[in-house]
Amino acid sequence: MNVVIMGCGRVGAQLAGLLDADGHSVTVLDTDAYSFRRLPANFGGTALIGNGLDQEVLKRAGIEKADAFFVVTQGDNRNVMAAQIAKHIFNVPKVICRIYDPLRRDLYQALGLEAISPTTVFAQILKEKLES
């Protein structure tokens, strides 16, 4: 599958490595070239400098042919906006974004975005640890 990942932080870089190892064609976007140091040494995909809120940059990253788009930058709003551009302008079949703020996640989930709040997920895990 063709996968575009926006944000090459810890999560983005690790995800890129995993998908690349599984044989997917991966492009990672980040505004800071220094972030690409996190990619595994044997990463076979493409690392591209640019802001994913810019539709021209997304096109260069191959968004028009992407089967999936993951948005995992540090900014909730940036993630929300990029995800909506990918979904509504480029019609990417699978768009998943991270939204730290649980309330904002609920709103955008209701608006049709596939959104994950690590805050909620992690709090839940911790709670389960206590209960087990």
- CA distance readout (Å), 132 to 50, 120, 121, 122: 44, 18, 16, 15
Near other proteins by CB under 8 A: residue from 46, 84, 119, 120: 84
Stretch that binds other proteins, among 14-22, 26-34, 102-110, 120-128 (CB under 8 A): 102-110
Shortest separation between residue 62's beta carbon and other proteins, angstroms: 18
| 124 interacts with other proteins by CB under 8 A | no
In angstroms, the CA 96 to CA 84 distance is 10
The residue among 62 and 75 lying less far from other proteins, judged by its C-beta, is 75
Closer CB to other proteins, 49 or 111, in the complex: 111
Distance, in Å, from the CA atom of 20 to the CA atom of 16, rounded to the nearest integer, reads 6
Query: Which DSSP category does 89 fall into?
Result: T
Rg (CA), the chain: 15
Whole-number Cα distances in Å, 53 to 18, 30, 31, 65, 132: 25, 11, 10, 17, 42
Using rule CB under 8 A, residue 107 touches other proteins = yes
Give the residue with the Cβ less far from other proteins, 50 or 75: 75
**103 or 125, CB closer to other proteins?**
103
Residues in the site for other proteins, rule: CB under 8 A? Answer: 53-56, 75-78, 80-81, 84-85, 88-89, 101, 103-104, 107, 110-111
